Amino acid sequence: MVIIPLLVMCVLLFATELIYFKVASHYNIIDQPNHRSSHTDITLRGGGIIFTIALLFYPAFFGIHYGYFLLGLVLIAGVSFMDDIHPVSSKLRIIIHLLAVMLMLYQLDLFSLPVYWVFLALFMVIGSINAVNFMDGINGITGSYAFITLCTLLYVNLFVIDFVDSNLIATSVISVMVFNYFNFRKKAKCFAGDVGSVGIAFIILFLMLKLIIVTENFNYILLLLMYGLDTATTIGFRILRHERIQEAHRSHFYQYLANERKLSHLMVAMIYALVQLLVNALIINWASNSLFVLLILLFSSAIIFIVIRFSVEGSSKLLDH
């Protein structure tokens, strides 16, 4: 990594975020609380645009690399920012998401694989992007989780295996730190918005897939374990309650902890981030490159998470409709 350009990048991104706040305030780009919200104050929306802006600055400091990925990021973040300002048609959003993810997969050279692998990758990436977006509901959770995940990827790149330009990950880490300065607080200055949650998901998934391809180790999908467990179990319980999956809700476990158990948003965010950090340490130090081990870890962690949800939330809340 080149330290001086990264320090300059930090100052530049901090200034850019402040400029965005003025623009968002002028054009009334705000998050208005409603009955599904976990907050009560009107707050600027779209502060997570800094994640994409950072990677647009990246080529100016470190050269043009990963062009197709960056183009895909601009497309998916762009349509998400439009959706933050004014609702975009679902058809347009789906088309842009598909195009952006295909650009990512092309960057990763996955189109050289059999077509079923491409379709599987498309399904998994789009599903994971939506899962990260759904998990962005309280102060600090997106920023802290992204920080832990990106720092883990940077550590792996520096000390385990070199799979991507470290400056790319470091740039993303800096953008998350800048965002966290304004978001990881009791009364947030801004929310990530769809542009932030979708953008950072796209970045993390690109890096994670790049790592999996280079190492041929699928255990690295566990870097998103906590988000995956919350999303998958929430969908499962909603199906059992005969709810419509596409409808907005507040059924995630993190939402229950923040809204009904009244735990601090930042405490809930730190719980998710620290548990994921522990999982990441286990992956790096002990998990073998084995699909059987991966399946065992996924099954056992799912059972533990479901037991925790039943013990904390109760069967009537999870199953009754």
Q: In which residue are the tokens 């520096």 written?
A: 158
Q: Is the pLDDT of residue 164 over 80?
A: yes
- Average pLDDT, integer, range 110-115: 91
Domain range list for the chain: 3-319
DSSP structure class, residue 109: T
Assign 248 a pLDDT band (cuts: 50, 70, 90).
Answer: confident
How many angstroms from the chain centroid is the CA of residue 315?
A: 29
Contact assessment for residue 138 and residue 255, using Cβ atoms and an 8 Å cutoff = yes
Q: What is the mean pLDDT of the chain?
A: 93
pLDDT digits (tens, 9 = 90+) for 276-321: 999 999 999 886 788 888 999 999 999 999 999 999 999 999 998 6
Residue indicated by tokens 């929310």: 191
Give pLDDT, residue 292.
Answer: 87
Contacts of 219 by beta carbon, 8 Å cutoff, 6+ apart:
283, 287, 288, 289, 290, 293, 294, 297
pLDDT in the model for residue 41:
67
Q: What span, in angstroms and rounded, lies between the C-alpha atoms of 166 and 311?
A: 42
CB 105 within 8 A of CB 206: no
Q: Which stretches of the chain are DSSP H helices?
A: 3-26, 49-62, 67-85, 90-107, 115-134, 141-159, 166-183, 193-215, 225-240, 253-259, 265-285, 291-313, 315-319
Q: How much of the chain exceeds pLDDT 90, in percent?
A: 83
pLDDT recorded at residue 244: 86
32 secondary structure, DSSP code:
-
Residue 11 CB contacts under 8 Å (≥ 6 apart), including other chains: none
Lowest-confidence segment of 28-42, 88-102, 114-128, 148-162 by average pLDDT:
28-42
For residue 22, the one-letter residue type is K
Centroid of chain to Cα 121: 17
Report residue 26 as tokens.
Answer: 């002028």
Q: What pLDDT does 34 receive? A: 56
In terms of C-beta density within 10 A (0-12 exposed, 13-18 middle, 19 or more buried), how is residue 69 classed?
A: buried
Section 240-262 average pLDDT: 90
Residue-by-residue DSSP string for 163-200: -S-HHHHHHHHHHHHHHHHHHSSSS-SB--HHHHHHHH
Residue 198: pLDDT over 70: yes
Is the pLDDT reported for residue 40 higher than 80? no
- Name, in order, each residue with C-beta under 8 angstroms of 83's C-beta and a sequence gap of 6 or more: 93, 194
